[in-house]
Structure formats: C-alpha cells, structure tokens
Amino acid sequence: MKAAVLREVNRPLEVEDVETDQPGPREVLIRTGATGVCHSDLHYVEGKYTIPMPVVLGHEAAGTIEATGDQVTYVKPGDRVITCLSVFCGHCDRCLSGRPNLCRRPDVDRSDSEPPRLRQGGTRITQMAQLGSFAEQMLVHEHAVVKVDDDMPFEQLALIGCGVTTGIGAVLNTAKVEPGSTVAVVGCGGVGLNCIQGAVLAGALRIIAIDSVETKLTLAREFGATDVIDASGGDVVQKVRELTGGGVDYSFEAIGTKETAEQCFEMLAAGSTATIIGMIPEGVKIELDAGTFLRRERKIQGSSMGSNRFRIDMPRYIEFYRQGRLKLDELVSQRLRLDQVNKAFEDMKQGNVARSVITF
Ligand SMILES: [Zn+2]
Ligand SMILES: [Zn+2]
C-alpha cells in the first residue's frame, strides 16, 4: 500500500510502498477513507517532538474495516470507524477509574519480538500514535476505533478523530464549563474553533476568541464567539480584563507556546481555571507569579485529547452535527490527495487553513 513516510526532521514526506502485516489477535485492518492534517503531525516533522523514524504520521482519520484478527468481536469487515489515538487497554487503573484517555497502555501494541505492523523489507516503520493515517491502510488495535453509522462522509468523521474531540472535550470533559460562564480561547485554528463550539454547547454566556489572523477571527465568530481580540494589536491580557471587568472564568490555550500559555493564566478571574491544550515543545518551562496566581484559587491544568472516552463522545458529536448544533463542514478548508501532504503542512505554517483533509 502507499503511505507518506517521514525519514528525517524538516524533510518533505515521500509517498512510498509500505507493507502492512496481517491483523493479529485483537487487531483490525482499516481502508483509510480520509485523514485530517493536524498541528501535532507538523510538530514531529519539525522535530519539536521526537519519534523513531522512518515513520508514517497522521492520526485524525476515518475509514472502513477491511479485515479483523482473532478475538475481535466489536467490528466486522464493512463497518465504518473513526480512529482515535487514545487507544485504551480497558483493564489498567486509569481505564477502570473512567479515564481511558490516560491509559497506561499495556497490551495494545505489538512487542519488539513480534513482527512490526508496518515494514519496508527488513525495516520497521513506526506508526504515529499507533495509527499512521497518512496511508491507504491502517493496522490498529481494536480499542483504537469507534464504530459509527455509514451515512456520514469520511471527511467529517475524520475531523472528529482528533481536532473536534480535543477542542470540545477540553471544554466539556476537562474544564467542565458551566452555563453562563465567560470563556476565552487563545488560538483559533482547528482545535481552537472546536473549543469555541464546545463553549457554545456548554452554554457559555460570553466566548472571547483571540488570534492574530483576521480570517480566523471571522471563522471564530461563525463558530459562536461573542467577542474577538486581534492579538497582533498588543496586550491581550489587558484587553480581556477590560472586556470582562477583571478576567474570565475559563481560558483555553490552543497553540502550544510559552507566551500564550502564560497569557491564559494571567487573564483568569479569581477562582478560575486555565486549560492548556496546545502541545508546548518538550523542555519549555512556563512561569507564573505564584503569589498572585495561587492565592485567589486560580488553577492551571493540561488536557489530553479532550479527556475523551471516545466511544461515548464521538457518536454524540455525530448526533450534534446531525441536529445542526456542531459545525464540521465549515472546518474543511481544502481537500488534498496523499501526495499533496506537504502542501497541507505549508498551508498550516502560513496559518490560513482550519483543516486540510486528505481523501483516498
Ligand atoms: Zn491531532
Ligand atoms: Zn488502560
């Protein structure tokens, strides 16, 4: 099968022939229908996070089950699925305490003594997040998929696989935003826009979108922002304080930089919570004035894949979409072929797309 392979940091991905192994016990082989291109894919291309190479990136996908291995009862060939990088074992303490997105992940990947899922001749190829969706096929553990109805287009389903679940989940599951509250979202790309629509679903009274790109602020309004702040115009924290008379109840960081993370806790009212979603590069430290920050019960927390329980959450998001309460079509900025994946990264760096989707 064809897959886009990354061999070296800061090099273009090359579409190459890659061999997929047969599904082993509890594994399923998926024919990829569509995959979004997410900012975390770019982080690996740029070397901000490390991963064994060569690697097939991509982790925001949907497709059709083509074959199943032994002991798979959840899906059968022909079923449509969304993949999720929150593959769960179902029996560790994190899973059993209701937080499968934080699974310790024993027993969900092949061991080093087993043949790899992907290879080129004798060379093992890594699957990003145990998925590797920039490929015509994905061989994954059955606990990395949720079965969905077959009347939804793959493009929209794929977006639910990461960006939608990350953004909405951060609001509904991680922060548990209450009706009537005031929310700020810093960064209005794919994830930030989904934070905004999560805040709408949660019944937030005021949703302040912050970005330095005008087209993204326009999109943010379409997704439900009640106020926008152009970050290129200077002191964002001061502007939020003026707009709200002292700070927000919840802030969300959806870019992944030290500066925006610090802005997110500096704009909080007393007793409020900052949720950091963006992937801040390894080794970066953020600073806060502990005296003023902690004294008035301000909190800061991470959010991993929207604290999802994706087999519950994703079908709900589909239903919200059907009811017209969730925008998915508007997130698709452009459709590309697999051999155009590098263009998706270039456009992402320019900052003028919500999501590029590769279709097969
Ligand atoms: Zn992602
Ligand atoms: Zn587990």
Distance between Cα 271 and ligand 1 center (Å): 30
pLDDT of residue 167 exceeding 90: yes
| CATH architecture of the domain with residue range 176-302 | 3-Layer(aba) Sandwich (3.40)
Please, where in the chain does CATH 3.40.50.720 lie? 176-302
Domain at 2-161+307-359, CATH homologous superfamily: Medium-chain alcohol dehydrogenases, catalytic domain (3.90.180.10)
Residue 38 annotated as catalytic? yes
Please name which ligand lies nearest the alpha carbon of 96: 2
Known catalytic residue at 188: no
Residue 59 a catalytic site member:
yes
User: Once rounded to an integer, what is the mean pLDDT over residues 36-44?
Assistant: 94
Residue of 103, 162, 188, 195 marked active site? 162
Residues 6+ apart with CB under 8 A from 242: none
Q: How far is the CA of 261 from the centre of ligand 1 (A)?
A: 19
pLDDT tens digits along 181-210: 999 999 999 999 999 999 999 999 999 999
Mean pLDDT throughout 91-118? 95
State the catalytic residue, choosing from 59, 84, 133, 143.
Answer: 59
97 counts as catalytic: no
pLDDT bracket for residue 83 (50, 70, 90): very high
CA of 142 to the centre of ligand 2 (A): 13
pLDDT average, residue stretch 287-310: 93
Give me the catalytic one of 39, 40, 92, 143.
Answer: 40
Q: Is 43 marked active-site?
A: yes
pLDDT for residue 351 = 81
- The residue whose two tokens read 């032994």 is 70
CATH 3.90.180.10 placement within the chain: 2-161+307-359
